[in-house]
Amino acid sequence: MTVRGQTRRRGAALEEAILDAAWAELAERGYGGLTLESVARRAGTSRPVLSRRWPSRTALATAALAQQFARENIVIPDLGSLRDELCLLLRRMSDRSGSRDLQLFYDMQKDLVAERSSFATIREQVVDGRQFHAVLERAIERGEIDPARLTPRIASLPLDLARHEMMMTFQPLSDDTIREILDDIFLPLVRPVEAPPHA
């Protein structure tokens, strides 16, 4: 089916076009200038089409961000060392999260409070944690991590601390910050405890 000479988009193709339009609007106008109407115009569709999928501009912005992150998926190879793999993961995460993304999170705060949502909810929708979990699983297999010490709270520390640092400074992670997160905080918490020598 065509409309004015153009193929009518449906399903995944339409959703991708809408999220691309939302990302373009965010780049040009910021979150404060984002409206479902402006995104619909840019995508060549109608506001009701958007509203059926995303009930608010917060939901739309989150989906647009998730699509961008999925396109820039971080892959961490097996380097044979937990520390080396986590250093690479945090560096790539820092390089991917530019100031525009961080500003977006700040600007969304008021709407998140009104919707009784949180950054944690957004993180679950946006961030694909499979690479991080793969790094941890390899480390457990190599004996670098004691799985009994890897509680959910401790496991989330490296990424949580990295995000907090970037949100507070609006700067990429420094090498010293990555070293402190890993060497001073995370790794001592998860390394196997050496058995005391026999008397």
Per residue in 100-151, pLDDT (tens digit) is 677 787 788 888 878 777 777 777 766 667 889 999 999 999 999 999 999 9
- For residue 23, tell me if it sits in a domain: yes
Q: Global pTM?
A: 0.71
pLDDT at position 3, please?
40
pLDDT of residue 93: 85
Cα separation, 94 vs 82, whole angstroms = 18
Mean pLDDT of 20-32: 92
State whether 80 and 62 are in the same domain. Answer: no
Q: What is the CATH number of the domain that holds 21?
A: 1.10.10.60
What is the predicted pLDDT for the residue at 8? 58
- The answer to whether 78 touches 138, Cβ cutoff 8 Å, is yes
pLDDT of residue 193: 83
Picking from 46, 68, 90, the residue at the C-terminal end of a domain is 68
Are residues 80 and 27 part of one domain? Answer: no
Shared domain check, 112 and 22:
no
Highest mean pLDDT among 91-105, 116-130, 178-192: 178-192
Q: Give the pLDDT score at 4.
A: 45
**Inside any domain, residue 198:** no
- Of 17, 38, 68, the position where a domain reaches its end is 68
| Residue-level pLDDT at 162 | 92
Give the pLDDT score at 99.
60
- Report how many domains make up the chain: 2
In Å, what is the CA distance from 89 to each residue of 11, 15, 74, 143, 153?
33, 29, 8, 20, 19
Pair 95, 146 in one domain? yes
Q: What is the pLDDT of residue 128?
A: 63
**156 belongs to a structural domain:** yes
Place of tokens 């100031």: 99
Greatest CA separation found in the chain? 87
* 31 within domain boundaries: yes
Q: What is the pLDDT of residues 3-12, one digit of tens each?
A: 444 455 667 8
- Same domain, yes or no, for 100 and 85? yes
- Does the residue 197 lie in any domain? no
Residue-number span of the structural domain to which 21 is assigned:
9-68
Predicted pLDDT at 186: 97
pLDDT score, position 158: 95
4 within domain boundaries: no
Is 199 a residue whose pLDDT tops 60? Answer: no
